[in-house]
Amino acid sequence: MPPHTDRIDLGDGHTAEWEGWYPDRELNPQLAGIPDVDRWGLVIFHKNPAGQDCAGFVTLDGEVQRRVEPNRANRWTVESWDPLTLSPSVLCSCGDHGFIREGRWVRA
Ligand SMILES: [Zn+2]
């Protein structure tokens, strides 16, 4: 079972939640031997420029992620887990653009 994850307040109208990866290995036997990942990626909740709720997702650059999705173009490196710092910046399809640095949202 995935652990409960709390909403992280990044400030500046941005919050986030960790998303884990827990595949059903009976349905996906090719994944046998590949471990679960509690922090596969981060969902970032914010408002789009029109003021409506929006959410983006970043996949972290981890060993399992590289193995399962070798062709993924975009990955984010964790510079620090606590407080959280990711690189590079995060650009949502809605145009919202910023950095997560030391646990805070910093507009680009
Ligand atoms: Zn957005």
Report the pLDDT value the prediction gives residue 72, as an integer from 0 to 100: 95
CA of 92 to the centre of ligand 1 (A): 5
pLDDT at 101 (0 to 100): 98
How far, in Å, are 30, 58, 90 from residue 12 at the CA level?
A: 42, 18, 14
- pLDDT attached to residue 5: 73
Q: What is the pLDDT of residue 12?
A: 97
Q: What is the pLDDT of residue 80?
A: 97
Ligand 1 mean position, distance from CA 30 (Å): 34
Sheet containing strand 53-59, strands side by side: 8-11, 14-21, 37-47, 53-59
Ligand 1: centre distance to CA 45 (Å): 8
Q: Render each residue's pLDDT in the chain as its tens digit; 108 residues.
A: 566 678 999 999 999 999 999 999 999 999 999 999 999 999 999 999 999 999 999 999 999 999 999 999 999 999 999 999 999 999 999 999 999 999 999 999
pLDDT of residue 6: 87
80 CA distance to ligand 1 centroid (A)?
Answer: 24
Distances (CA, A) of 67 to 10, 71, 77: 30, 9, 16
Cα separation, 33 vs 85, in Å, equals: 30
The pair of three-digit structure tokens given for residue 24, joined into one six-digit string: 């059903």
DSSP lists the bridge partners of residue 11 as 14
